[in-house]
């Protein structure tokens, strides 16, 4: 009874450190959840029924599974429940949010690579594939891999990647005697692991940068993602995580070297953005219309938070200064014909803005309730 009550609540917003465990039992019959007394009592009744009728008419039944018109399996047992059974398929249909975190064992995942003594990039990659155990992230039922996410998790709305428990795990790295190749192999291997993992593809995704982690590269698909939030975005390596045909929020923490440091920071971020987006033109599945619909919002956190006056007038001044920085950067790009090749490849795309944190203080994936409340209230900075 306890499991029947708590399981739907736990699966509504799931924290996942092992994909293998999360999807375990997807194809298996629903497990018994009765007490030993109840089970013995049921078995006794079954024995009586069999002896009388020749079949187990009183035995507990699995939830009835039928195929709905959308080709998804409907679990009647969840809508008309018995105390003893809940099927994993039905539980996964309750999931509205997932939080993908570092498994505690990920900190020592490279423990078998200490003896690696190779100088070739591809040999290092092959050794990593062979020696590093990532089964907890890649071993999931074949039926899950072969099904569209909308069938396995039809109600999934948002996902966070690497945000919970960040900074607490052991960031182990493989020992590679040849540093010329090791970091390239390490990066390629992380991309490989990310691509092998199940790809959650909800409407809203957010992630943080976490050095030495394959979660840096996850997810690798675009699909239906419409809001993409990058927390603690890397200065020169966030562009590869922008999502086409989506609104991208890139959070920026400015140090106290402003204004000179601020201007340089924005310039470098613009450069990385247009260079990364220019590569999208080689993607055969990505249309020019989808590229043009892409938005990038640089969300700037105030550099003087402790002393910063949060009054309306101070916020307006802060917002005006950001508008001036944006106008100045746009003028420099146009007047000096900066990044001409990339801008030409993007066909005149110019849907980027610089906004203050006050306009976007909450994350729709991390803090959905606060975000909705903020969106429904008046934003002082933009007024």
Task: Give per-residue pLDDT as tens, 231-284.
Answer: 988 888 899 999 999 999 999 887 655 556 788 888 999 999 999 999 999 999
DSSP H or E segment with residue 278: helix 260-278
C-alpha to C-alpha distance for 118 and 216, rounded to whole angstroms? 25
Looking at 254-353, list the stretches that DSSP marks H as alpha helix, in order from N- to C-terminal side: 260-278, 288-293, 312-335, 340-345
How high is the pLDDT of residue 168?
A: 52
Q: Whole-angstrom distance between the N-terminal and C-terminal Cα of the chain?
A: 53
How high is the pLDDT of residue 314?
A: 84
Q: What residues of the chain score a pLDDT lower than 50?
A: 33-84, 170
24 phi, psi to nearest 5 deg: -60, 135
How high is the pLDDT of residue 37?
A: 32
Burial 62-96 (b: 16+ CB within 10 A, else e): ebeeeeeeeebbbbebbeeeeebbbbbbbbbbbbe
Q: How many CB atoms lie within 10 A of CB 97?
A: 20
Contact in structure between 322 and 330 (CB atoms under 8 Å): no
Q: Following CA atoms 265, 270, 272, 273 in sequence, which dihedral angle do they give, to the nearest 10 degrees? A: 140
DSSP H or E segment with residue 355: strand 352-356
How high is the pLDDT of residue 77?
A: 46
- Angstrom CA distances, 289 to 23, 249, 317, stand at 36, 20, 36
How high is the pLDDT of residue 44?
A: 35
How high is the pLDDT of residue 198?
A: 94
Nearest to residue 247, comparing CAs of 172, 288, 304, 298? 298
How high is the pLDDT of residue 254?
A: 73
């Amino acid at each position: 009874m306890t499991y029947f009550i708590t399981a739907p609540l736990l699966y509504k917003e799931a924290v996942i450190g092992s994909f293998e465990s999360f999807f375990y039992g997807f194809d298996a019959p629903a497990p018994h959840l009765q007490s030993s007394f109840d089970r013995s009592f049921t078995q006794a009744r079954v024995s009586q029924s069999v002896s009388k009728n020749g079949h187990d008419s009183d035995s507990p039944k699995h939830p009835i599974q039928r195929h709905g018109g959308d080709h998804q399996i409907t679990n009647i047992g969840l809508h008309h429940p018995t105390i003893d059974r809940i099927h994993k398929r039905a539980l996964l249909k309750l999931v509205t949010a997932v939080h993908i975190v570092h498994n505690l064992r990920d900190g020592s995942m490279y423990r078998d690579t200490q003896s690696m003594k190779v100088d070739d990039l591809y040999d290092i990659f092959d050794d990593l594939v062979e020696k590093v155990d990532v089964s907890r992230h890649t071993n999931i039922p074949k039926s899950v891999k072969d099904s569209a996410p909308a069938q396995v998790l039809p109600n999934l709305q948002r996902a966070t990647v690497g945000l919970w428990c960040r900074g607490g795990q052991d960031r182990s790295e493989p020992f590679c005697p040849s540093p010329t190749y090791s970091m390239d192999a390490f990066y390629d291997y992380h991309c490989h692991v990310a691509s092998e993992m199940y790809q959650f593809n909800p409407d809203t995704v957010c992630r943080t940068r976490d050095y030495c982690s394959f979660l840096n590269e996850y997810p690798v698909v675009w699909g239906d993602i419409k809001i993409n939030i990058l927390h603690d975005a890397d200065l020169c390596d966030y562009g590869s995580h922008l999502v086409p045909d989506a609104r991208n929020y890139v959070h920026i923490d400015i140090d106290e070297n402003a204004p000179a440091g601020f201007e340089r920071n924005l310039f470098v971020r613009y450069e990385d953005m247009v260079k990364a987006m220019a590569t999208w033109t080689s993607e055969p599945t990505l249309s020019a219309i989808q590229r043009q619909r892409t938005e990038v919002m640089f969300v700037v956190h105030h550099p003087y938070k402790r002393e910063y006056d949060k009054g309306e007038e101070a916020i307006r001044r802060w917002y005006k200064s950001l508008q001036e920085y944006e106008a100045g950067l746009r003028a420099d790009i146009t007047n000096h014909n900066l990044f001409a090749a990339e801008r030409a490849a993007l066909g005149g795309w110019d849907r980027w803005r610089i906004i203050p944190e006050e306009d976007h203080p909450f994350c729709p994936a991390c803090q959905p309730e606060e975000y909705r409340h903020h969106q429904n209230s008046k934003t002082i900075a933009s007024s």
